[in-house]
Structure 1
Amino acid sequence: GFIRGSSPHRCVWVSVLSQDPKLKGGYNAMGFSQGSQFLRAVAQRCPDPPMKNLISVGGQHQGVFGLPRCPGESSHICDWIRKMLNSGAYTDTVQKHLVQAQYWHDPLNDDLYKKHSLFLADINQERVVNETYKKNLMSLNKFVMVKFLQDTMVDPVDSEWFGFYKPGQDKELETLQESAIYTEDRLGLAEMDSAGKLVFLATDGDHLQFTREWFNDNLLPYLR
C-alpha cells in the first residue's frame, strides 16, 4: 500500500485490506509524509492482514510544531505564529475535523497535548500503554524511516526519525533513543532497535525529493 495523506481514524482501511485476497499473507506498506504516521496507526490498530515492512518517507512520528518553510527556531515571527496556533489546535472541533491538527505536538504544553490530541498522543502511547498496539508494531519485520536533510516542510525535521523537542521548551532537540517513548519502551521501539528492526535512512533534498536511483537502491529491497 502507498499512502501520502488520508484519514487517521481507526481501521479506516481495514475492510479494504482484509477483503483483498492478494494481501492475505501480509503486505508491505509505504507512507509519504503524513501518510507515514497514518500507516503506522494501521500497523498498530489493524493487524489483519499483517503488515510486514513499514516504510516511512518523511513522516512526522512525533508530530510537528511549526509551519512549512517557517521554522520557529530561526524566526521570531514563525515562533509567534506557531505558539498562537495552540489556542485552537486542541479544541474538540479542530481535532476532529482538521487532519493536520491531529499530529500537532506542542512541547510547551505537554499536558494539554497528552489530554486532547485524539490521534498522535494515542498511537504514541502518551496517555496509557496499549499492549496490543505495542505487540502489533513489534511484529513488523522492518520499520524504515527516511529523513530529508534539507526538509523545509517538517518542523522539527527530527520527527522523521522519531525525534522531537525535549519536553517543556522548543529549542533543544532529543533523538528517539533519548525520548521517554524509547527509554520507557512504550511502543516496543527499543526492543525493535536492539533486534535490528529499525532502519534510519537519510537523503539530501527537500521534503519527498529523491531520485529514482536512490529509491531503487535504498527502499525497493524492503518492498520485494
Structure 2
Amino acid sequence: MVALGLGVLVLCMMGVCGEPLPLVIWHGMGDSCCNPLSMGGIKKLVEQQVPGIYVLSLKIGSNIIEDMENSFFLNVNKQLDNVCEQLAKDPRLQNGYNGMGFSQGGQFLRAIVQKCPSPPMKNLISIGGQHQGVYGFPRCPGEISHICDWIRKTLNVGAYTQAVQEHLVQAEYWHDPLNEDQYRNGSIFLADINQERGVNESYRSNLQTLEKFVMVKFLKDTMVDPADSEWFGFYRPGQSKETITLQESSLYTEDRLGLRKMDKAGKLVFLAAAGDHLQFSEEWFNENILPFVR
C-alpha cells in the first residue's frame, strides 16, 4: 500500500495524474466561441463539472463578430489551417486533448483529426454534426435568418460552382444525392474528407487513432436534412426520400475512412437526444457527454 502510494505520488509530481485532458470546442453555424447562451455556457458547465480542466472554445477571427461571420463565409479549408495552427501553438494541448463539435463544428473537428494529427485528439464528440453533409436548409438560428434565406437561394442556384464553394461554408458540405458525380467533383471540403475522390491513407490512419468517436443525433431535428447525417447516414444515391445507415453505405463497406474497422473495435458511439437541433438539458449533457470528457 505504501509503495503504491509513493508511486502515485511520484507520477503526480511528474504531472501525469490529476489533470484532466483539455477540451477543444468548435461552435456551429451563426454562433461564436463565447456566446454566454451557447458555447460560453457549455465552457462554464464543463469547467464546473470537471475541476481543473482547460477548455479552449475556438474563435476564428480577431473578434466575436468575425467569428460568427466566418462560420458562414470563410472557406472551411482556411478555417482548418487556422485551427491547426492554434492547436499546434497552444502548450497546454501538446499531450493530447478531447474535441467537442457542435453542428457543423462536428465535421470540422473530424477534419482536424484527419488533417492535423499533432497534437493528438483522444476522443471526438460530435453533437449534431453533419458527417455526410446536408441536402436542405430548413431554418437558421435567431436574428440571422435573412442570411439563411440568401444561402438557400444561393445553394439552389449553384452549390458546386467554384465561386460559391470558395466563399460559402454551407456549400462546402452540401451533398446532392441526385447529382453524386457533381458533388464528388465539386465539393472542396466534404467530398475530400469523406474520401469520395480517392483514398488518402493518412486521413484513414489518423482517424483511427481516436479512442472514441461519439456521434449525437437529434431525433426531432428540424434543421439538418437528413438528420441521419448526424450518424453518418444519408439519402440512398439517386433520390432524396429513403435514407440508409452508415453501415449500408459504400463509405463503410469499402472502409475508405476506417469507420468499419473502428465500429468493429467499439470505437464508434451512437447517441440519441430526444429534442430538436442542439436542444438538450444540462442533465442529459452531464449524463451522456461528460463521461467522454473526464
Once residues 157 and 127 of structure 1 are traced to their aligned partners in structure 2, the CA distance between those partners, rounded to angstroms, is 24
Query: How far apart are residue 86 of structure 1 and its match?
Result: 4.5
Once residues 129 and 178 of structure 1 are traced to their aligned partners in structure 2, the CA distance between those partners, rounded to angstroms, is 19
Query: How far apart are residue 12 of structure 1 and its match?
Result: 2.4
Counterpart of 1:137 in structure 2 is 207
Query: Does the 8 Å CA contact 1:11/1:45 hold for their aligned counterparts?
Result: no
Once residues 83 and 163 of structure 1 are traced to their aligned partners in structure 2, the CA distance between those partners, rounded to angstroms, is 25
Unpaired stretches in structure 2, ≥5 consecutive residues: 1-23, 29-70, 141-151
- Equivalenced residue count is 213
Once residues 81 and 254 of structure 2 are traced to their aligned partners in structure 1, the CA distance between those partners, rounded to angstroms, is 26
For residue 253 of structure 2, the aligned residue among 177, 183, 195 is 183
Query: Does the 8 Å CA contact 2:155/2:171 hold for their aligned counterparts?
Result: no
Counterpart of 1:163 in structure 2 is 233
Once residues 125 and 154 of structure 2 are traced to their aligned partners in structure 1, the CA distance between those partners, rounded to angstroms, is 33
Query: Does the 8 Å CA contact 2:134/2:173 hold for their aligned counterparts?
Result: yes
1:118-143 Cα deviation digits (max 9, x unpaired) = 00000000001000000000000000
Structure 1 residue runs of 4 or more that deviate by more than 4 Å after TM superposition: none
Query: How far apart are residue 11 of structure 1 and its match?
Result: 3.0
Task: Give TM-score, length-normalised by structure 2.
Answer: 0.70
Q: What does 1:46-125 correspond to in 2, within 5 Å? A: 46-69=116-139, 85-125=155-195
Query: Does the 8 Å CA contact 1:86/1:106 hold for their aligned counterparts?
Result: no
Query: Does the 8 Å CA contact 2:130/2:230 hold for their aligned counterparts?
Result: yes
1:128 aligned counterpart, secondary structure? coil
1:67-111 Cα deviation digits (max 9, x unpaired) = 2259xxxxxxxxxxx899444100000000000000000000000
Counterpart of 1:215 in structure 2 is 285
- Greater Cα radius of gyration, structure 1 or 2: 2
What residue identity is the alignment partner of 1:192?
Answer: M
2:124 aligned counterpart, secondary structure? strand
Query: How far apart are residue 21 of structure 1 and its match?
Result: 1.4
> Does residue 3 in structure 1 map to residue 29 in structure 2?
no
Counterpart of 1:43 in structure 2 is 113
1:107 aligned counterpart, secondary structure? coil
Counterpart of 1:77 in structure 2 is none
Q: Which has the higher contact order (CA 8 A, sep 6+)?
A: 1
2:188 aligned counterpart, secondary structure? coil
What residue identity is the alignment partner of 1:23?
Answer: L
> Does residue 18 in structure 1 map to residue 41 in structure 2?
no
Once residues 47 and 84 of structure 1 are traced to their aligned partners in structure 2, the CA distance between those partners, rounded to angstroms, is 34
- Structure 1 range deviating more: 200-209 or 85-94: 85-94
Unpaired stretches in structure 1, ≥5 consecutive residues: 71-81
- Provide closer, same or farther for how the CA distance between residues 112 and 83 of structure 1 changes in structure 2, counting only shifts above 3 A: farther
Counterpart of 1:174 in structure 2 is 244
Counterpart of 1:153 in structure 2 is 223
1:116-172 Cα deviation digits (max 9, x unpaired) = 100000000000100000000000000000000010000000000000001111111
The two structures, once aligned, show a CA RMSD in angstroms of 1.6
- Provide closer, same or farther for how the CA distance between residues 200 and 11 of structure 1 changes in structure 2, counting only shifts above 3 A: same
